[in-house]
Chains A and B, each alone.
Chain A
Amino acid sequence: MSGPLSAPNPTTQPTASSEALSGGFADASIDSAYAFRTLLDVMARPGLIGRLAAAKAPAPASVSMATALLTLCDSTTPLFLAASHATPALKDWIAFHLGAPLTNNPAEAVFAAGSWDSLGEVGRFALGSDDYPDRSTTLLIETEHLMNEGLRLTGPGIATSTALSLPQHWLPALQANHRLYPQGVDFFFCFGEAIAALPRSTLVEAG
Protein backbone atom coordinates (compact mmCIF):
# COMPACT_ATOMS: atom_id res chain seq x y z
CA MET A 1 0.00 0.00 0.00
CA SER A 2 1.22 3.49 -0.76
CA GLY A 3 -0.30 6.93 -0.46
CA PRO A 4 -3.63 7.88 1.03
CA LEU A 5 -6.85 6.42 -0.29
CA SER A 6 -7.83 9.81 -1.60
CA ALA A 7 -4.82 10.17 -3.87
CA PRO A 8 -5.85 10.52 -7.51
CA ASN A 9 -5.19 7.55 -9.72
CA PRO A 10 -1.86 8.11 -11.46
CA THR A 11 -3.32 7.03 -14.82
CA THR A 12 -5.56 10.09 -14.75
CA GLN A 13 -2.54 12.34 -14.28
CA PRO A 14 -0.68 12.11 -17.56
CA THR A 15 1.45 15.14 -16.71
CA ALA A 16 2.77 13.70 -13.46
CA SER A 17 6.50 13.16 -13.70
CA SER A 18 8.27 10.20 -12.20
CA GLU A 19 9.50 12.57 -9.48
CA ALA A 20 5.91 13.24 -8.49
CA LEU A 21 5.14 9.54 -8.26
CA SER A 22 8.17 8.59 -6.17
CA GLY A 23 9.29 9.55 -2.69
CA GLY A 24 6.25 8.28 -0.77
CA PHE A 25 6.35 5.92 2.18
CA ALA A 26 7.67 2.44 1.47
CA ASP A 27 5.16 1.07 3.97
CA ALA A 28 2.47 3.67 4.68
CA SER A 29 1.12 2.43 7.98
CA ILE A 30 4.50 1.65 9.55
CA ASP A 31 6.41 4.65 8.20
CA SER A 32 3.62 7.02 9.19
CA ALA A 33 3.45 5.48 12.67
CA TYR A 34 7.12 6.16 13.31
CA ALA A 35 6.94 9.59 11.71
CA PHE A 36 3.94 10.58 13.80
CA ARG A 37 5.60 9.41 16.99
CA THR A 38 8.47 11.76 16.20
CA LEU A 39 6.08 14.62 15.42
CA LEU A 40 4.21 13.98 18.68
CA ASP A 41 7.48 13.82 20.60
CA VAL A 42 8.83 17.09 19.26
CA MET A 43 5.49 18.90 19.73
CA ALA A 44 5.31 17.61 23.32
CA ARG A 45 8.91 18.71 23.97
CA PRO A 46 9.46 22.05 22.25
CA GLY A 47 13.07 22.46 21.23
CA LEU A 48 13.67 18.73 20.91
CA ILE A 49 15.15 18.01 17.49
CA GLY A 50 13.82 14.84 15.88
CA ARG A 51 14.71 13.08 12.66
CA LEU A 52 12.24 12.33 9.86
CA ALA A 53 13.51 10.70 6.70
CA ALA A 54 10.82 8.35 5.39
CA ALA A 55 9.65 10.43 2.42
CA LYS A 56 11.24 12.56 -0.26
CA ALA A 57 9.54 15.35 -2.18
CA PRO A 58 10.88 17.53 -5.01
CA ALA A 59 12.99 20.56 -4.06
CA PRO A 60 12.80 22.83 -2.23
CA ALA A 61 10.89 20.72 0.32
CA SER A 62 13.20 19.19 2.90
CA VAL A 63 13.00 15.49 3.69
CA SER A 64 11.55 16.20 7.13
CA MET A 65 8.92 18.52 5.67
CA ALA A 66 7.94 15.95 3.04
CA THR A 67 7.63 13.25 5.71
CA ALA A 68 5.58 15.48 8.01
CA LEU A 69 3.22 16.51 5.19
CA LEU A 70 2.74 12.90 4.12
CA THR A 71 2.03 11.89 7.72
CA LEU A 72 -0.51 14.61 8.52
CA CYS A 73 -2.17 15.90 5.34
CA ASP A 74 -4.92 14.43 3.19
CA SER A 75 -7.98 15.42 1.17
CA THR A 76 -9.62 16.93 4.27
CA THR A 77 -6.81 19.39 5.08
CA PRO A 78 -6.46 22.49 2.86
CA LEU A 79 -2.76 23.26 2.41
CA PHE A 80 -1.30 26.72 1.81
CA LEU A 81 1.88 26.46 -0.18
CA ALA A 82 4.02 29.59 0.09
CA ALA A 83 5.50 30.99 -3.12
CA SER A 84 8.91 29.60 -2.10
CA HIS A 85 7.48 26.08 -2.40
CA ALA A 86 4.77 26.50 -5.03
CA THR A 87 6.74 24.77 -7.77
CA PRO A 88 4.94 22.60 -10.34
CA ALA A 89 6.97 19.55 -9.28
CA LEU A 90 6.12 19.90 -5.60
CA LYS A 91 2.46 20.62 -6.41
CA ASP A 92 2.34 17.43 -8.49
CA TRP A 93 3.92 15.45 -5.65
CA ILE A 94 1.38 16.83 -3.19
CA ALA A 95 -1.52 16.09 -5.54
CA PHE A 96 -0.38 12.51 -6.00
CA HIS A 97 0.76 11.57 -2.49
CA LEU A 98 -1.42 13.74 -0.24
CA GLY A 99 -4.45 14.64 -2.30
CA ALA A 100 -4.59 17.76 -0.13
CA PRO A 101 -6.43 20.67 -1.76
CA LEU A 102 -4.16 23.68 -2.20
CA THR A 103 -5.61 26.95 -1.00
CA ASN A 104 -4.58 30.53 -1.65
CA ASN A 105 -6.36 31.67 1.48
CA PRO A 106 -4.07 31.31 4.50
CA ALA A 107 -7.02 31.77 6.88
CA GLU A 108 -8.59 28.50 5.70
CA ALA A 109 -5.36 26.50 5.65
CA VAL A 110 -5.08 23.57 8.08
CA PHE A 111 -1.41 23.33 7.12
CA ALA A 112 0.95 25.82 5.51
CA ALA A 113 4.41 25.09 4.18
CA GLY A 114 7.30 27.17 2.91
CA SER A 115 10.00 29.60 3.96
CA TRP A 116 9.36 32.08 6.77
CA ASP A 117 9.60 35.13 4.50
CA SER A 118 7.42 33.60 1.85
CA LEU A 119 4.69 32.52 4.28
CA GLY A 120 4.33 36.10 5.47
CA GLU A 121 2.58 37.45 8.55
CA VAL A 122 1.57 34.80 11.08
CA GLY A 123 -1.68 36.68 11.68
CA ARG A 124 -2.89 35.87 8.15
CA PHE A 125 -3.37 32.23 9.10
CA ALA A 126 -6.18 30.62 11.04
CA LEU A 127 -5.60 31.41 14.72
CA GLY A 128 -8.49 29.38 16.13
CA SER A 129 -11.55 30.84 17.81
CA ASP A 130 -12.52 31.44 21.44
CA ASP A 131 -14.61 28.28 21.42
CA TYR A 132 -12.31 26.21 19.21
CA PRO A 133 -8.69 27.33 19.62
CA ASP A 134 -7.63 24.05 17.97
CA ARG A 135 -8.98 25.20 14.62
CA SER A 136 -5.76 26.95 13.70
CA THR A 137 -3.13 26.51 11.02
CA THR A 138 -0.03 24.42 11.62
CA LEU A 139 2.93 25.99 9.82
CA LEU A 140 5.82 23.95 8.47
CA ILE A 141 8.79 26.21 7.89
CA GLU A 142 12.17 25.52 6.33
CA THR A 143 15.12 26.78 8.36
CA GLU A 144 18.81 27.33 7.57
CA HIS A 145 19.90 25.03 10.36
CA LEU A 146 18.45 23.51 13.51
CA MET A 147 20.44 23.36 16.74
CA ASN A 148 19.82 23.82 20.46
CA GLU A 149 21.23 27.32 20.68
CA GLY A 150 19.86 30.80 20.28
CA LEU A 151 16.31 31.75 21.25
CA ARG A 152 15.32 30.67 24.76
CA LEU A 153 12.23 28.49 25.15
CA THR A 154 10.23 27.85 28.31
CA GLY A 155 6.77 26.42 28.94
CA PRO A 156 4.87 23.12 28.82
CA GLY A 157 7.06 20.23 27.67
CA ILE A 158 10.28 21.88 28.82
CA ALA A 159 11.75 20.89 32.20
CA THR A 160 13.63 24.13 32.80
CA SER A 161 14.50 25.93 29.59
CA THR A 162 15.96 25.04 26.23
CA ALA A 163 17.18 26.84 23.13
CA LEU A 164 16.45 26.67 19.43
CA SER A 165 18.43 28.22 16.60
CA LEU A 166 15.69 30.40 15.09
CA PRO A 167 16.55 33.83 13.63
CA GLN A 168 16.34 36.71 16.12
CA HIS A 169 14.09 38.72 13.83
CA TRP A 170 11.36 36.04 14.09
CA LEU A 171 11.09 36.75 17.80
CA PRO A 172 8.38 39.47 17.75
CA ALA A 173 6.05 37.30 15.64
CA LEU A 174 6.63 34.20 17.80
CA GLN A 175 5.97 36.22 20.95
CA ALA A 176 2.83 37.81 19.50
CA ASN A 177 1.56 34.31 18.64
CA HIS A 178 2.20 33.10 22.20
CA ARG A 179 0.30 36.08 23.60
CA LEU A 180 -2.83 34.82 21.80
CA TYR A 181 -2.82 31.65 23.93
CA PRO A 182 -4.91 29.50 23.97
CA GLN A 183 -5.39 30.64 20.36
CA GLY A 184 -2.54 30.90 17.89
CA VAL A 185 -0.75 28.83 15.28
CA ASP A 186 1.71 26.00 15.94
CA PHE A 187 5.02 25.57 14.15
CA PHE A 188 7.20 22.81 12.84
CA PHE A 189 10.70 23.83 11.75
CA CYS A 190 12.39 21.68 9.14
CA PHE A 191 16.00 21.37 8.05
CA GLY A 192 17.12 18.38 6.02
CA GLU A 193 16.04 15.36 8.05
CA ALA A 194 15.74 17.41 11.25
CA ILE A 195 12.48 18.69 12.68
CA ALA A 196 11.54 20.65 15.79
CA ALA A 197 8.26 22.14 16.97
CA LEU A 198 7.06 25.28 18.66
CA PRO A 199 3.50 25.10 19.95
CA ARG A 200 1.68 28.31 20.85
CA SER A 201 2.16 27.44 24.54
CA THR A 202 5.92 28.08 24.40
CA LEU A 203 7.31 31.37 25.66
CA VAL A 204 10.13 32.48 23.36
CA GLU A 205 12.72 35.01 24.47
CA ALA A 206 16.01 36.38 23.19
CA GLY A 207 18.83 33.94 23.88
Chain B
Amino acid sequence: MSTLVREHYNFAYLDEHTKRMIRRALLKGVAIPGYQVPFASREMPMPYGWGTGGVQVSAACMVPDDRVKVIDQGADDTTNAISIRKFFERTAGVALTERTAEATLIQTRHRIPEHPLSEGQILVYQVPIPEPLRFLEPRETETRKMHALSEYGLMHVKLYEDISQHGEIATSYAYPAEVNGRHVFDPSPIPKFDNPKLDNAPALQLFGAGREQRIYAVPPYTRVRSLDFEDYPFVAARAEHQCALCGALHTYLDEVIIDDEGGRMFVCSDTDYCNERQQANQETGNDAG
Protein backbone atom coordinates (compact mmCIF):
# COMPACT_ATOMS: atom_id res chain seq x y z
CA MET B 1 0.00 0.00 0.00
CA SER B 2 1.36 3.39 -0.89
CA THR B 3 1.96 5.98 1.81
CA LEU B 4 -0.12 8.36 -0.28
CA VAL B 5 -3.17 6.24 0.40
CA ARG B 6 -2.66 6.26 4.15
CA GLU B 7 -1.95 9.97 4.38
CA HIS B 8 -5.26 11.02 2.94
CA TYR B 9 -7.71 8.34 4.00
CA ASN B 10 -8.34 6.02 6.86
CA PHE B 11 -8.04 2.47 5.49
CA ALA B 12 -11.05 1.83 3.24
CA TYR B 13 -12.31 5.40 3.76
CA LEU B 14 -14.63 4.81 6.76
CA ASP B 15 -13.51 5.88 10.23
CA GLU B 16 -12.95 3.14 12.81
CA HIS B 17 -16.07 3.99 14.80
CA THR B 18 -18.27 3.56 11.74
CA LYS B 19 -16.55 0.35 10.71
CA ARG B 20 -17.07 -1.13 14.18
CA MET B 21 -20.78 -0.30 14.01
CA ILE B 22 -21.11 -1.91 10.57
CA ARG B 23 -19.02 -4.90 11.66
CA ARG B 24 -21.25 -5.55 14.67
CA ALA B 25 -24.30 -5.43 12.38
CA LEU B 26 -22.62 -7.85 9.98
CA LEU B 27 -21.95 -10.40 12.71
CA LYS B 28 -25.59 -10.29 13.83
CA GLY B 29 -26.68 -10.57 10.20
CA VAL B 30 -24.57 -13.69 9.78
CA ALA B 31 -25.96 -15.14 13.02
CA ILE B 32 -29.56 -14.64 11.80
CA PRO B 33 -29.44 -15.48 8.07
CA GLY B 34 -31.88 -13.41 5.99
CA TYR B 35 -32.87 -11.08 8.85
CA GLN B 36 -32.42 -7.36 8.10
CA VAL B 37 -30.19 -5.71 10.71
CA PRO B 38 -30.63 -1.92 11.00
CA PHE B 39 -27.43 0.12 10.80
CA ALA B 40 -26.59 3.82 10.71
CA SER B 41 -25.63 4.31 7.08
CA ARG B 42 -22.99 6.99 6.45
CA GLU B 43 -22.71 9.61 3.76
CA MET B 44 -20.41 8.25 1.11
CA PRO B 45 -18.60 10.21 -1.61
CA MET B 46 -21.08 8.90 -4.19
CA PRO B 47 -24.83 9.27 -4.60
CA TYR B 48 -27.40 6.79 -3.29
CA GLY B 49 -28.25 4.39 -6.06
CA TRP B 50 -24.54 3.95 -6.64
CA GLY B 51 -24.31 1.18 -4.14
CA THR B 52 -23.45 3.09 -0.98
CA GLY B 53 -24.76 0.22 1.17
CA GLY B 54 -22.62 -2.30 -0.66
CA VAL B 55 -19.62 0.01 -0.52
CA GLN B 56 -19.94 0.39 3.26
CA VAL B 57 -20.24 -3.37 3.75
CA SER B 58 -17.25 -4.02 1.47
CA ALA B 59 -15.18 -1.35 3.23
CA ALA B 60 -15.96 -2.84 6.65
CA CYS B 61 -14.85 -6.34 5.51
CA MET B 62 -11.89 -5.41 3.35
CA VAL B 63 -8.28 -6.28 4.19
CA PRO B 64 -5.23 -4.86 2.40
CA ASP B 65 -4.44 -8.10 0.56
CA ASP B 66 -7.93 -8.54 -0.87
CA ARG B 67 -8.35 -8.83 -4.63
CA VAL B 68 -11.50 -6.90 -5.41
CA LYS B 69 -13.89 -7.28 -8.33
CA VAL B 70 -16.86 -4.98 -8.90
CA ILE B 71 -19.65 -5.81 -11.31
CA ASP B 72 -22.68 -3.92 -12.47
CA GLN B 73 -25.32 -6.23 -13.98
CA GLY B 74 -22.55 -8.68 -14.82
CA ALA B 75 -20.20 -6.15 -16.42
CA ASP B 76 -16.89 -4.94 -14.98
CA ASP B 77 -16.62 -1.91 -17.23
CA THR B 78 -19.66 0.26 -16.54
CA THR B 79 -19.16 3.74 -15.07
CA ASN B 80 -20.62 2.60 -11.77
CA ALA B 81 -18.41 -0.50 -11.47
CA ILE B 82 -15.27 1.38 -12.49
CA SER B 83 -15.83 4.23 -10.05
CA ILE B 84 -16.43 1.86 -7.11
CA ARG B 85 -13.38 -0.20 -8.07
CA LYS B 86 -11.23 2.93 -8.21
CA PHE B 87 -12.62 4.07 -4.88
CA PHE B 88 -11.37 0.88 -3.20
CA GLU B 89 -8.04 1.02 -4.99
CA ARG B 90 -7.51 4.61 -3.83
CA THR B 91 -8.77 4.28 -0.26
CA ALA B 92 -7.71 0.72 0.61
CA GLY B 93 -4.81 0.11 -1.76
CA VAL B 94 -6.26 -3.27 -2.68
CA ALA B 95 -5.52 -5.18 -5.88
CA LEU B 96 -8.26 -5.21 -8.48
CA THR B 97 -9.32 -7.99 -10.78
CA GLU B 98 -12.03 -8.73 -13.31
CA ARG B 99 -11.64 -12.48 -12.94
CA THR B 100 -14.30 -13.99 -10.71
CA ALA B 101 -12.10 -16.94 -9.81
CA GLU B 102 -9.23 -14.67 -8.68
CA ALA B 103 -11.30 -12.28 -6.59
CA THR B 104 -11.50 -12.59 -2.81
CA LEU B 105 -14.20 -9.95 -2.47
CA ILE B 106 -16.77 -9.21 -5.16
CA GLN B 107 -19.19 -6.32 -4.96
CA THR B 108 -22.14 -6.75 -7.24
CA ARG B 109 -25.13 -4.87 -8.52
CA HIS B 110 -27.94 -7.14 -9.75
CA ARG B 111 -26.06 -10.32 -10.73
CA ILE B 112 -24.34 -13.36 -9.29
CA PRO B 113 -21.31 -14.32 -11.38
CA GLU B 114 -21.66 -17.38 -13.62
CA HIS B 115 -18.34 -18.81 -12.48
CA PRO B 116 -19.12 -20.86 -9.34
CA LEU B 117 -17.95 -19.08 -6.20
CA SER B 118 -15.65 -20.77 -3.72
CA GLU B 119 -15.20 -20.95 0.05
CA GLY B 120 -12.71 -18.13 0.43
CA GLN B 121 -14.87 -15.57 -1.36
CA ILE B 122 -17.23 -12.89 -0.13
CA LEU B 123 -19.99 -11.60 -2.40
CA VAL B 124 -21.36 -8.18 -1.41
CA TYR B 125 -24.68 -7.15 -2.95
CA GLN B 126 -25.80 -3.57 -3.49
CA VAL B 127 -29.42 -3.46 -2.37
CA PRO B 128 -31.89 -0.70 -3.27
CA ILE B 129 -34.92 -2.03 -1.34
CA PRO B 130 -34.17 -4.68 1.27
CA GLU B 131 -37.74 -5.32 2.41
CA PRO B 132 -39.45 -8.06 0.34
CA LEU B 133 -42.84 -7.06 1.78
CA ARG B 134 -42.45 -3.33 1.10
CA PHE B 135 -44.62 -3.25 -2.03
CA LEU B 136 -47.35 -5.12 -0.18
CA GLU B 137 -47.12 -3.23 3.11
CA PRO B 138 -45.45 0.18 3.18
CA ARG B 139 -45.33 0.50 6.98
CA GLU B 140 -42.03 -0.61 8.51
CA THR B 141 -43.70 -1.39 11.87
CA GLU B 142 -46.05 -3.78 10.09
CA THR B 143 -43.45 -5.55 7.96
CA ARG B 144 -41.24 -5.97 11.03
CA LYS B 145 -44.17 -7.60 12.82
CA MET B 146 -44.80 -9.87 9.84
CA HIS B 147 -41.18 -11.06 9.90
CA ALA B 148 -41.38 -11.55 13.69
CA LEU B 149 -44.45 -13.75 13.31
CA SER B 150 -43.34 -15.45 10.05
CA GLU B 151 -46.51 -14.07 8.50
CA TYR B 152 -45.63 -14.42 4.85
CA GLY B 153 -49.11 -15.18 3.53
CA LEU B 154 -49.30 -11.81 1.78
CA MET B 155 -46.21 -12.64 -0.25
CA HIS B 156 -47.71 -15.93 -1.39
CA VAL B 157 -50.94 -14.17 -2.31
CA LYS B 158 -48.96 -11.72 -4.46
CA LEU B 159 -47.14 -14.52 -6.27
CA TYR B 160 -50.39 -16.41 -6.73
CA GLU B 161 -52.05 -13.32 -8.23
CA ASP B 162 -49.21 -13.39 -10.75
CA ILE B 163 -50.21 -16.90 -11.70
CA SER B 164 -53.89 -16.10 -12.08
CA GLN B 165 -53.08 -13.04 -14.23
CA HIS B 166 -50.19 -14.33 -16.30
CA GLY B 167 -50.45 -18.10 -16.03
CA GLU B 168 -47.07 -18.14 -14.31
CA ILE B 169 -45.17 -16.27 -11.61
CA ALA B 170 -44.28 -13.09 -13.49
CA THR B 171 -41.83 -11.82 -10.87
CA SER B 172 -38.51 -12.13 -12.66
CA TYR B 173 -36.19 -9.95 -10.54
CA ALA B 174 -35.75 -9.63 -6.78
CA TYR B 175 -37.55 -12.93 -6.45
CA PRO B 176 -38.28 -13.59 -2.76
CA ALA B 177 -36.74 -16.56 -1.00
CA GLU B 178 -36.85 -18.11 2.44
CA VAL B 179 -33.52 -18.29 4.25
CA ASN B 180 -32.65 -21.02 6.76
CA GLY B 181 -36.30 -22.05 6.93
CA ARG B 182 -37.27 -18.82 8.66
CA HIS B 183 -36.86 -15.33 7.16
CA VAL B 184 -38.19 -14.39 3.74
CA PHE B 185 -35.73 -12.02 2.11
CA ASP B 186 -35.14 -9.97 -1.02
CA PRO B 187 -31.99 -11.14 -2.80
CA SER B 188 -31.71 -7.66 -4.43
CA PRO B 189 -32.75 -7.20 -8.06
CA ILE B 190 -30.83 -10.18 -9.41
CA PRO B 191 -32.69 -12.08 -12.14
CA LYS B 192 -34.51 -15.09 -10.72
CA PHE B 193 -32.17 -17.13 -12.94
CA ASP B 194 -29.56 -16.42 -10.24
CA ASN B 195 -31.69 -17.51 -7.27
CA PRO B 196 -30.50 -21.15 -7.26
CA LYS B 197 -26.91 -19.87 -6.81
CA LEU B 198 -27.93 -18.34 -3.46
CA ASP B 199 -28.70 -21.77 -2.08
CA ASN B 200 -26.08 -23.77 -0.22
CA ALA B 201 -23.31 -21.63 -1.73
CA PRO B 202 -19.74 -22.08 -0.50
CA ALA B 203 -19.14 -18.29 -0.44
CA LEU B 204 -20.32 -15.82 2.20
CA GLN B 205 -23.01 -13.49 0.85
CA LEU B 206 -23.52 -10.04 2.40
CA PHE B 207 -26.18 -7.48 1.50
CA GLY B 208 -26.01 -3.73 2.09
CA ALA B 209 -28.82 -1.21 1.59
CA GLY B 210 -27.48 2.33 2.09
CA ARG B 211 -30.56 4.49 1.79
CA GLU B 212 -32.72 2.02 3.70
CA GLN B 213 -29.98 1.37 6.27
CA ARG B 214 -30.16 -2.41 6.39
CA ILE B 215 -27.54 -5.15 6.38
CA TYR B 216 -28.27 -8.85 5.96
CA ALA B 217 -26.38 -12.00 5.18
CA VAL B 218 -26.51 -15.54 3.88
CA PRO B 219 -23.67 -17.60 5.38
CA PRO B 220 -22.09 -20.36 3.31
CA TYR B 221 -24.02 -23.62 3.06
CA THR B 222 -27.33 -22.08 4.02
CA ARG B 223 -30.66 -23.19 2.63
CA VAL B 224 -32.21 -20.50 0.43
CA ARG B 225 -35.54 -21.65 -0.99
CA SER B 226 -37.23 -19.53 -3.65
CA LEU B 227 -40.92 -19.22 -2.81
CA ASP B 228 -43.23 -21.24 -5.02
CA PHE B 229 -46.28 -23.50 -5.04
CA GLU B 230 -46.67 -27.23 -5.43
CA ASP B 231 -48.52 -26.81 -8.73
CA TYR B 232 -46.30 -23.91 -9.85
CA PRO B 233 -42.74 -24.80 -8.89
CA PHE B 234 -40.00 -22.16 -9.08
CA VAL B 235 -38.29 -21.97 -12.48
CA ALA B 236 -34.93 -20.22 -12.98
CA ALA B 237 -35.81 -18.64 -16.32
CA ARG B 238 -33.39 -17.38 -18.99
CA ALA B 239 -33.87 -16.19 -22.57
CA GLU B 240 -34.10 -19.22 -24.87
CA HIS B 241 -31.11 -18.17 -26.95
CA GLN B 242 -27.43 -18.80 -27.36
CA CYS B 243 -24.74 -16.23 -26.54
CA ALA B 244 -23.67 -14.69 -29.86
CA LEU B 245 -20.09 -14.26 -28.60
CA CYS B 246 -19.23 -17.48 -26.75
CA GLY B 247 -22.05 -19.84 -27.71
CA ALA B 248 -23.19 -20.46 -24.15
CA LEU B 249 -26.59 -22.06 -23.74
CA HIS B 250 -26.53 -22.05 -19.95
CA THR B 251 -25.83 -18.41 -19.01
CA TYR B 252 -28.00 -15.40 -18.30
CA LEU B 253 -28.23 -13.30 -21.47
CA ASP B 254 -28.71 -9.62 -22.19
CA GLU B 255 -30.40 -8.55 -25.38
CA VAL B 256 -28.32 -5.79 -27.00
CA ILE B 257 -29.06 -3.55 -29.98
CA ILE B 258 -26.22 -3.83 -32.48
CA ASP B 259 -27.13 -1.35 -35.25
CA ASP B 260 -29.44 1.53 -36.20
CA GLU B 261 -31.82 -0.83 -38.00
CA GLY B 262 -32.89 -2.38 -34.73
CA GLY B 263 -30.73 -5.48 -35.15
CA ARG B 264 -30.38 -7.39 -31.88
CA MET B 265 -28.33 -10.13 -30.41
CA PHE B 266 -28.09 -12.01 -27.15
CA VAL B 267 -24.83 -12.02 -25.20
CA CYS B 268 -23.80 -13.21 -21.75
CA SER B 269 -24.52 -10.59 -19.10
CA ASP B 270 -21.39 -11.78 -17.22
CA THR B 271 -18.62 -10.24 -19.34
CA ASP B 272 -15.72 -11.95 -17.54
CA TYR B 273 -17.32 -15.37 -17.96
CA CYS B 274 -18.06 -14.70 -21.63
CA ASN B 275 -14.47 -13.52 -22.29
CA GLU B 276 -13.11 -16.63 -20.58
CA ARG B 277 -15.26 -18.84 -22.79
CA GLN B 278 -14.33 -16.96 -25.96
CA GLN B 279 -10.63 -17.45 -25.16
CA ALA B 280 -11.15 -21.14 -24.46
CA ASN B 281 -13.08 -21.45 -27.73
CA GLN B 282 -10.18 -19.86 -29.62
CA GLU B 283 -7.64 -22.14 -28.00
CA THR B 284 -9.56 -25.28 -28.88
CA GLY B 285 -10.57 -23.97 -32.30
CA ASN B 286 -14.26 -24.24 -31.54
CA ASP B 287 -16.57 -21.97 -33.40
CA ALA B 288 -18.90 -20.07 -31.14
CA GLY B 289 -21.75 -20.05 -33.62
Nearest chain A CB to B10's CB is how many angstroms away? 5
Question: How distant is the Cα of A109 from the Cα of B19 in the complex, in angstroms?
Answer: 20
Candidate in B12, B32, B148, B221 with the most chain A CB atoms within 10 angstroms: B32
Residue A130 CB within 8 A of the other chain = yes
Partner of A33, one of B17, B25, B63: B63
A186 touches B27 (CB 8 A): yes
When distances are taken between beta carbons in the complex, the residues of chain B under 8 Å from A157 are 30, 219-222
Partner of A45, one of B11, B20, B25, B220: B220
B61 touches A32 (CB 8 A): no
Residue B115 CB within 8 A of the other chain = no
Residue B23 CB within 8 A of the other chain = yes
When distances are taken between beta carbons in the complex, the residues of chain B under 8 Å from A158 are 221
Q: A28-B16, A34-B63, A134-B25 are in contact. Are A199 and B31 (CB under 8 A)?
A: yes
Residue B169 CB within 8 A of the other chain = no
Q: A133-B35, A181-B182, A200-B32 are in contact. Are A5 and B26 (CB under 8 A)?
A: no
When distances are taken between beta carbons in the complex, the residues of chain A under 8 Å from B144 are 131-132
Partner of B20, one of A71, A132, A155: A71
Partner of A182, one of B30, B32, B62, B204: B32
For B208-249 the 0/1 string (1 means CB < 8 A from A) is 000000000101111100000000000000000000000000
Q: A4-B16, A131-B148, A156-B222 are in contact. Are A30 and B64 (CB under 8 A)?
A: yes
Q: Please choose the segment from A72-80, A115-123, A163-171 that sits at the chain B interface, where 4 or more of its residues have CB less than 8 A away.
A: A72-80
For B23-40 the 0/1 string (1 means CB < 8 A from A) is 111111111110101100
For A108-139 the 0/1 string (1 means CB < 8 A from B) is 00100000000000000000001111101010
Nearest chain A CB to B274's CB is how many angstroms away? 30
Nearest chain B CB to A18's CB is how many angstroms away? 24
Q: How large is the interface on B (under 10, 10 to 19, 20 to 34, 35 or more residues)?
A: 35 or more
Q: A34-B63, A130-B148, A201-B31 are in contact. Are A72 and B23 (CB under 8 A)?
A: yes
Q: A37-B61, A134-B37, A157-B222 are in contact. Are A201 and B180 (CB under 8 A)?
A: yes
Q: A30-B11, A30-B64, A36-B23 are in contact. Are A4 and B32 (CB under 8 A)?
A: no
B182 touches A40 (CB 8 A): no
Residue A44 CB within 8 A of the other chain = yes
When distances are taken between beta carbons in the complex, the residues of chain B under 8 Å from A156 are 33, 180, 219-223
B33 touches A138 (CB 8 A): no
When distances are taken between beta carbons in the complex, the residues of chain B under 8 Å from A134 are 25, 28-29, 31-32, 35, 37-38
Q: List which B117-173 residues lie within 8 A (CB) of chain A.
A: 144-145, 148-149
Q: A29-B10, A199-B31 are in contact. Are A40 and B63 (CB under 8 A)?
A: no
Closest Cβ neighbor of B203 among chain A residues: A44
Candidate in B24, B31, B223 with the most chain A CB atoms within 10 angstroms: B31
Residue B99 CB within 8 A of the other chain = no
Q: List which B252-280 residues lie within 8 A (CB) of chain A.
A: none
Question: How distant is the Cα of A134 from the Cα of B30 in the complex, in angstroms?
Answer: 10
B183 touches A182 (CB 8 A): yes
Residue A63 CB within 8 A of the other chain = no
B23 touches A186 (CB 8 A): no
Nearest chain A CB to B133's CB is how many angstroms away? 14
Residue A194 CB within 8 A of the other chain = no
Residue B198 CB within 8 A of the other chain = no
Residue B288 CB within 8 A of the other chain = no
A76 touches B21 (CB 8 A): yes
Residue B60 CB within 8 A of the other chain = yes
B binding-site residues for A, Cβ under 8 Å = 10-12, 15-17, 19-21, 23-33, 35, 37-38, 60-64, 144-145, 148-149, 180, 182-183, 202, 204, 217, 219-223
Query: Which 7 residue pairs of A and B lie closest in terms of their CB atoms, listed nearest first?
Result: A199-B31, A29-B11, A134-B28, A130-B148, A157-B219, A156-B222, A44-B219
